[in-house]
Structure 1
Amino acid sequence: MNELISVIVPVYNVEMYLSKCIESIINQSYTNLEIVLIDDGSTDTSGKICDEYAQKDFRIVTLHQSNKGISVARNNGLRVAKGRYCCFCDSDDFIDFNYIEVLYKIMKEKNADISCCRFKGIYADSTVIKSNTGTIIEYSSMEALNNLYFNSGPMQQVSNKINIVVWNKLYKRELFSGTLFTEGRDIEDVDITYRLLYKAKRVVYIDLPLYNYRLSKSGFTRSNFSVRKMDVLEVWKKQMDFWKEKNKRIYEYTAMVYYTKLINLAYWGNRYKCDEEINKRLRYIEKELEEKYSLIIKNPNIGNKKYKYWLFKTSPKLFYCIWGLYLKLTKNDSVANI
């Protein structure tokens, strides 16, 4: 059955890469596509490029919006999408010619709600491929979630099969009914993937790198430390609360991630506390670490990290000094390590 599949592409200031992305979609071996390009207020020629492709290919729908972020763009794409299935592609990435065909085929064969594949890391001067066996693995919802959080489940020796990103997957679009991207927040993938996996009855993975992820991002980019980096706290606290009554092991894991983000952001917030909003968030983080200390040190996942929290409780100023020195000595003094 040749069912309609919607490909949703949020676009922002990627004129250098956009044509390659769109060409990779329109030249798919699976042709019954609806291609939704959402220009998120680009200030370069990206919006014009979208319109030009829409004139050439009747399958392309272009939306233009003021700059509201990738979550709003994806949600608007979902709202206009007509396909029974949908997938996402970042506008500076590209997909192999059989990407959609393969994901659709294994989804139908295994009666899955989500299908996914491995991806290639594309650097300026090289391509990184971790595995390429073609192995197909089926998961129940909880098996997929265990793999996401713990790299466990069927064939657990093959790690990193189910990952947090939304763009290397094909979905039944009905999964997004009542489950949209949280708008106005960074790390939107972390905030939605676990919820979609929880709703899915079956997930299938194929060990083929069919998605090409460009690691030198230029549109929706990573940035230096800012108050929005602190969005990660709300995202992981939301996960922690989600799992509290559903699964003890995942709850304890997500709680430990939340505590780790707290103390890491305390350090970075202290470095940038001259910013009024960051300083306000820092005071909240320090209070949260103080109030949650007994829970933190009792978490079964804490290991030798307990000394880090003990030092902070003893003296935040001493912690900031010693931890900053440690990060410099270990060459981990980067916002990317939050």
Structure 2
Amino acid sequence: MSVRFSIVIPVFNAEKTIERCVKSVLLQNYTDYEVILVNDGSTDKTGKILNNFLKTSEKLILKEQNNRGPGLARNAGIERASGEYIIFIDSDDYIDEGYFEALDNIIKLENSDVIFIDAVQEKIDGKIICKEKISKFANYSKKLLIRCQMTGKIPWGGWRKVTRRSIIINNKIFYSDDEVGEEAIFSFECLRNARKISFLNSEYYHYVNYPSSQSKKGNDDPWGPVYLRMKNYLIENLLFEEYQKTIQSFSVTALTASLYRLASINTFEETKEKLREKVKDLEKNCKVSVDWRSLNKANKFLYPFYMLHLYNVLVLLAKGYCNLNKYEKNKNFSS
């Protein structure tokens, strides 16, 4: 029996957070939904907690699988879903009452295929870090939205947008099994195949920033493999010429992510030497200018420094950023 929304929650070792997450869904006033909990091989008490929840609501569906990562767990949820729209919620996050009703209202008003959502990013103790206002991009054209999503100027994350299920199924759009950036091509294709893209400009979603969150994973070049995968995908699907400048912009974003990682684990000289090699690779692959509008402010600022080989300045900036983050973490811990 079809429902309006299928809520897909991938779960792995989330015994400390999954109860709040699921309760926040079940407390919604809007009732035309199902919840698909994908237990991705948890080894803690998560399984027991999920099974206890099953006794409390007929809306809950539990799918068990061996650990395959968040991307494939979301795919499993999509395959089981029957709803008209797919909503992703991460197991360590939660939502405010009224979220589903607000989504339903905007869908009725605009017949949306994809709805971007605003969110509150907060610390474990509930202190607000920032408000993510993706709705500030609402006046962008579809082409520019796609390009900004490709480079990460519009943040990735399955939970940041709600998608009509037929868009996903009919176009065979799936998450990859990668540790980082598993949603890159998924997001690209969802937007590319959408006719109407909408924005929910209220912060119903709470993204809780944990030290071990998915965004912290990867080596000293977390987005480098994502760039290569996206580039190859564009070439294979005869889309490279159309998005060549944008994928070049994404390589700058990937370089900046690598710079910060390098600065956090290496000495000044080691960081500078490794950065020099990465800039050489960037210049080697740079056949066209970047797509300036798809870069965020930080990368627009840093790009000339890369091109002018001002490595000392770049490493100083990265080291300063890392030290500031360490200071904030220590201050929060001591307080």
SS of residue matched to 1:246 = helix
1:200–1:217 distance in 2 versus 1, CA, 3 Å: farther
Q: What does 1:80-229 correspond to in 2, within 5 Å?
A: 80-123=80-123, 124-128=125-129, 130=131, 137=138, 141-146=142-147, 148=149, 162-177=154-169, 178-216=172-210, 220-223=213-216, 227=219
Q: Please give the root-mean-square deviation of Cα atoms over the aligned residues, in Å.
A: 3.7
Structure 1 Cα separation of the partners of residues 241 and 8 of structure 2: 34
- TM-score, L = length of structure 2: 0.74
- Residue type matched to 1:49 in 2? I
1:208-266 Cα distance to aligned partner (Å, 9 max, x none) = 10101111255x54557x54x64521212233452532235424422433455566677
Shift of 1:73: 0.9
Q: Could you tell me the percent identity over the aligned residues?
A: 21
Shift of 1:117: 1.9
- TM-score, L = length of structure 1: 0.74
Q: What does 1:278-317 correspond to in 2, within 5 Å?
A: 286=277, 290=280, 293-296=283-286, 299-300=289-290, 302-308=303-309
Structure 2 Cα separation of the partners of residues 85 and 62 of structure 1: 19
Structure 2 Cα separation of the partners of residues 79 and 51 of structure 1: 21
Q: Is 1:237 aligned to 2:228, yes or no?
A: yes
1:85–1:239 distance in 2 versus 1, CA, 3 Å: same
Residue of structure 2 in register with 1:26 after alignment: 26
Structure 2 unmatched ranges of 5 or more: 268-273, 293-302, 327-335
Structure 2 Cα separation of the partners of residues 129 and 267 of structure 1: 24
- Residue type matched to 1:236 in 2? Y
- Residue type matched to 1:238 in 2? R
Residue of structure 2 in register with 1:257 after alignment: 253
Residue of structure 1 in register with 2:77 after alignment: 77
The answer (yes or no) to whether the contact 2:150–2:247 under 8 Å persists in 1 is no
Shift of 1:185: 2.7
Write 1 or 2 for the structure with the bigger share of helix. 2
Structure 1 Cα separation of the partners of residues 106 and 221 of structure 2: 38
1:215–1:237 distance in 2 versus 1, CA, 3 Å: same
Structure 2 Cα separation of the partners of residues 128 and 326 of structure 1: 22
Q: Which region of structure 1 is more displaced relative to structure 2, 189-198 or 240-249? A: 240-249
- Residue type matched to 1:237 in 2? L
Structure 2 Cα separation of the partners of residues 34 and 6 of structure 1: 5
What is the number of equivalent residue pairs in this alignment? 299
1:76–1:95 distance in 2 versus 1, CA, 3 Å: same
- Residue type matched to 1:175 in 2? I
- Residue type matched to 2:60 in 1? I
SS of residue matched to 1:182 = coil
